[in-house]
Structure 1
Amino acid sequence: MKLSFTKMQGCANDYIYLDCRTSGVPEDIAALSQRLSRRHFSIGADGIICICAPVTAGADAMMRIFNADGSEGKMCGNGIRCVAEWLYTHGMAKPKLAIDTLSGLKTVARMGEGLWQVEMGTYTAMAAALPAVNMGEGPLVDLPLQVEENLWRVTCISVGNPHCVTIVPDVDSLKLEQIGPGFEHHENFPERINTEFVQVVDATHLKMRVWERGSGETWACGTGTCATVAALTELGICPAGEDVHVQLRGGELTIRVLPGKQLLMTGAAETVCEGTTEV
């Protein structure tokens, strides 16, 4: 059977996009995501994102995310911009789109050609939201965390999915393939964790690398970038109410923390190719 797909990327966070609005999500989606996401041996991606029929009245679509290991995620900031771009170029050319996710309804506004701004909702540093254990109830801000042989200072943030943020002096020198799994599978995070390693350039400019649960190191993570700016705002490093520019391996995202711990993210979305594959 042939499967039609669109490959898209936001800051090099690339996914295979399937139009499931009529057909529904394939029954074998976990295995399909594992197979098609393999670099060099298949289409290659960070996973599959299914564009589904909305579940909320008035919404335009629903997004479901399946990581490269087949596990399902709740929210993807780079992915939702690409969903908006796909909808916009496939018959839904509206200046604002409402997209359901497993983390709730998100509003995405078109800011220019291939440029989208996402209302990412609120963040919290409370343990129950992540979830996190053995670290107190929270806020989980600037706490010690023993990961294998090393002691880190971390701030844990939920933006609908869980993140652990730590500041490092030089993000480029880190060997994430050695460090990342210890964070992801740490006993304090029963549902695993995404981990952001951030270097402070100045109060409004950061450099970041990310280890995503289920995918390993990716070149960008929208929710992770939001969590990073939220964490550094909690630490008093980044200013609330101002744009903070975060340089990732795949490009730049701009994050602003609004009153009430609301998060706003702006970034690009681009179609890489369209095609069919045998499944």
Structure 2
Amino acid sequence: MQLRFSKMHGIGNDFVVLDCRQHEFPLDAVQIRALGDRHTGVGFDQLLSVEPARDPSCAFYYGIWNADGSPSGQCGNGVRCVAAWLHRAGALAIGENVRIESPSDPVIVRLLGAHEVTVDMGEPIFEPARIPFEVAAAADRYDIRVGNETLEIGVVSMGNPHAVVVLDDFHEPLRMQSGPLLSTHERFAQGANAGFVQPLDRTRLRLRVHERGAGWTLACGTGACAAMAVLHQRGEVDDSVAVELPGGTLRIDWAGPGHTLWMTGAATFAFEGEWPVPAAMT
């Protein structure tokens, strides 16, 4: 079986996008891992499918799978790529607001240009049980034991769970050591994306994210939203923040509780191709 795909990225966070509007999603977890292998497959941080909407209030549905074959609830860079893909397919006009269904909650996307998208990511969720994060009572800071260290974290859901660690020195070795441990910590029942953020001033942050199921990525859209939301909750950043990631910069806008959070950034096509699904997998 030849599987047609589009390769895309959102400031370096890379995706394979499959058109499943006319047929069911064709891969299982083993096949997803094979396709995601950067040596013997195509390679990606996440796999995205564009499908008919389940929710009648939405125009389309998009599925999300990590490179290890596990499903994901949300992907901020991914939804921008889905929007750009829909525009190229003739299903989304520049300037048009469209409601798209994700595995967690619907989002509203608007194309500012063929390769720039702004997304209403919903209101950040801080209630521990809804993230989910195991703790006795809600707070804006929590201590958590990770390896031989105790870290102070903020937790939030942006459709997927996030742990946010504030660093004075962005190049601390702690970041590389703690990211994988924090992503799989037992207090996060579904795992978590671990974000390490250095505030540069009230309008600029520097961020690196270890994503559950994908590892260290060049960019994480929901991670940028989570870092801004946690610091905004503490009163440490303004309502509009530029988040600098290894792959590029995202703008995050949030006016606080009672308001939805908006993320704006690029979506780029890399190439189109066909992948021969190995016969043993079909």
Normalised-by-shorter TM-score class: over 0.9
Determine helix, strand or coil for the equivalent of 2:188.
Answer: coil
Deviates more, 1:189-198 or 1:57-66: 57-66
Please tell me the residue identity of whatever aligns with 1:274. E
Tell me how far apart the structure 2 counterparts of residues 163 and 155 of structure 1 sit (CA, whole Å): 8
TM-score normalised by structure 2 residue count: 0.93
**Percent of paired sites with the same residue:** 36
Which of residues 271, 274, 280 is equivalent to 1:273?
271
Partner of 1:116: 117
The residue number in structure 2 matching 1:125 is 126
* Residue of structure 2 equivalent to 1:224: 223
Q: CA shift at 1:177, angstroms?
A: 4.8
Q: CA RMSD in A?
A: 1.4
What residue number does 1:251 align with?
248
CA distance 1:96–1:174, change in 2 (3 Å): farther
Contact 1:258 1:264 in 2 (8 A): no
- Once the two structures are superposed, the pairs formed by residues 39-78 of structure 1 within 5 Å of their partners are 39-78=38-77
Map of 1:6-155 to 2, 5 A cutoff? Answer: 6-26=6-26, 28-94=27-93, 95-133=96-134, 135-139=135-139, 141-155=140-154
Residue 3 of structure 1 corresponds to 3
TM-aligned CA deviation for residue 158 of structure 1: 1.0
Deviation per residue, 1:206-227 (Å, 9 max, x gap): 0000010001111111111101
Secondary structure of the corresponding residue to residue 258 of structure 1: coil
> In structure 2, what is the Cα distance between the partners aligned to 1:142 and 1:226?
17
Distance 1:86 1:32 in 2: 23
Query: Post-superposition shift, 1:173?
Result: 4.3
TM-score calculated relative to the size of structure 1: 0.94
2:280 corresponding residue in structure 1: none
Task: Provide closer, same or farther for how the CA distance between residues 56 and 18 of structure 1 changes in structure 2, counting only shifts above 3 A.
Answer: same
Shift of 1:175: 6.2
Alignment partner, residue 188 of structure 2: 189
Moved more, 67-76 or 143-152: 143-152
**Shift of the alpha carbon at 1:230?**
0.3
Give 5+ residue unaligned stretches, structure 1: none
CA contact (8 A) 1:177 1:216 kept: no
Cα distance, 1:144–1:168 mapped onto 2, change above 3 Å: same
Q: Deviations over 1:24-60 (max 9, x none)?
A: 111x332222111112322111121111111122422
- The residue type equivalent to 1:43 in the other structure is V
Contact 1:59–1:99, Cα closer than 8 Å, also in 2: yes
Figure out how many residues of one structure are paired with residues of the other and give that number: 274
What is the rounded CA distance, in whole Å, between the counterparts of 1:137 and 1:71 in structure 2? Answer: 30
Who is 2:262 aligned against?
264
TM-aligned CA deviation for residue 112 of structure 1: 2.1
Measured in 2, the distance between the counterparts of 1:178 and 1:41 equals 28
Stretch deviating more after TM superposition (38-47 or 77-86): 38-47
- Asked whether the 8 Å contact 1:123–1:261 carries over to 2, the reply is no
Q: Which runs of 4+ in 1 moved over 4 A?
A: none
Distance 1:138 1:63 in 2: 32
Q: CA separation in 2, counterparts of 1:258 and 1:19?
A: 35
Corresponding residue SS for 1:262: coil
Q: Deviations over 1:119-162 (max 9, x none)?
A: 000112111111111x22313x1221110101111000111110
Residue type matched to 1:179 in 2? Answer: S
Structure with bigger strand share is 1
CA distance in structure 2 between the partners assigned to 1:263 and 1:192 by the alignment = 23
Which consecutive residues of structure 2, in runs of 5 or more, have no partner in the other structure? 278-282
- Distance in structure 2 (CA, Å) of the matches to 1:12 and 1:180: 19
